[in-house]
Amino acid sequence: MAGASKVEALPPWGSAIAGSAGAILANAIVYPLDIVKTRLQVQMKRSPNSADPNPADGEHYTSAVDAISKIVKADGLAGLYAGMTGSLIGVGSTNFAYFYWYTIVRGLYFTYRKANTPPGTAAELALGAVAGAVAQLFTIPIAVVTTRQQTVSKHERKGLLATGKEVIDSEDGWTGLWRGMKASLVLVVNPAITYGAYQRLRENLFPGKKNLRPAEAFLLGALSKMLATIATQPLIVAKVGLQSKPPPARNGKPFKSFSEVMRYIVQHEGLLGLFKGIGPQILKGLLVQGFLMMTKERIELVFVLLFRYIRNLRKEQLQKLAEIAAEKARQAPRPVLVK
């Protein structure tokens, strides 16, 4: 394929497995940060006019450290891993779908353009957005269920399937599992910016280098994710608000759109409220994306070497079969012509 790097040399499922495995490992390592940033993003700022407690434990968190302390006090260390199973399933399936479709659409781009040059920044963002949109369609129900598990108290928390059933029964039927779909589709710009920036940084900082060192991949992944998070944080906060239980002040009335969530937050907390939880969000993003790309690069290299070994093995087998066939042909009795 023209313009293919070692990533495109893999079949789509190879890149998808590498990406999802890296994402699962990275998110498992930093999962407590996911709990903290989610709870910080769903609570309303405590003030004389607004004192909504966090729906998970009735507390109000003043910082990430304060959140960790109060979560451990309320639920023990296990509280920092609430909803982890569903989250890792969601992360794995989302990244598998993303990298699968990203490999396909990027391959189609090279085939259509018939060029050796990599896509420009705008094209790279568009390719990432298409792949992200397709991935979201299939995986958003898991994100809805996981967010619900992370933002309810220990006594209200249920299993993955039970929480999914609760969402279906208590809200808009099956469509409740796709709550926040519009926000999620808008947020495909996050992975698009992330992987677009990753490709650009890689081409500029390490031109022509096919295999990055783990530290190099970690650095590029962390930097690209930081840029994407800062650009999309208000939408991330709005999406979490859509998928969690509404704040007590709304008397159980769920938000209908991410614009409604953003208006509510600005009304009660000001514009800076749209960036709440950005500290742990960025830290989580830096670590996750860094570990993800570092792991993905290594797994892809393993696949490349494995495929090369299999090709060489098949080549040797075919050569042996050809030699055996040729030897049999030489040893076969020749027909006698009768005059």
pLDDT given for residue 252 in this prediction: 72
The beta-carbon contacts of 197-201 under 8 Å, at least 24 apart in sequence, are 197/223, 197/224, 197/227, 197/228, 198/224, 198/293, 199/118, 199/124, 200/121, 200/124
Q: What is the pLDDT of residues 150-172, one digit of tens each?
A: 777 777 778 778 888 887 877 66
pLDDT given for residue 4 in this prediction: 41
User: Residue 7: pLDDT above 50?
Assistant: no
When the pLDDT of each residue in the chain is averaged and rounded to a whole number, the result is 78
How much of the chain, in percent, has pLDDT values that exceed 70? 87
Q: What is the pLDDT of residues 53-105, one digit of tens each?
A: 666 666 778 888 888 998 898 888 888 888 888 888 888 888 888 888 888 88
- Mean pLDDT value of segment 120-146: 77
Give me the amino acid identity at 70: K
- Mean pLDDT value of segment 274-301: 80
* Structure-token pair, residue 179: 């709550």
pLDDT band of 337, cuts 50, 70, 90: low
Residue with tokens 């999914």: 164
| Threshold 0.75, pTM exceeds | no
Domain ranges of the chain: 6-308
Look at the domain 6-308 and name its fold: Mitochondrial carrier fold (1.50.40)
pLDDT given for residue 321 in this prediction: 81
pLDDT given for residue 328 in this prediction: 75
Q: What is the pLDDT of residues 177-233, one digit of tens each?
A: 777 777 777 777 777 788 778 878 888 888 878 778 888 888 888 888 888 888 888
pLDDT given for residue 2 in this prediction: 38
- Mean pLDDT value of segment 327-337: 67
pLDDT given for residue 52 in this prediction: 59
Higher pLDDT, 115 or 35: 35
pLDDT given for residue 57 in this prediction: 62
How much of the chain, in percent, has pLDDT values that exceed 90? 0
Cα dihedral 318/322/323/329 (nearest 10): 160
User: Residue 28: pLDDT above 50?
Assistant: yes
3-class state of residue 40 by DSSP: helix
pLDDT band of 6, cuts 50, 70, 90: very low
CA distance 106 to 20: 18
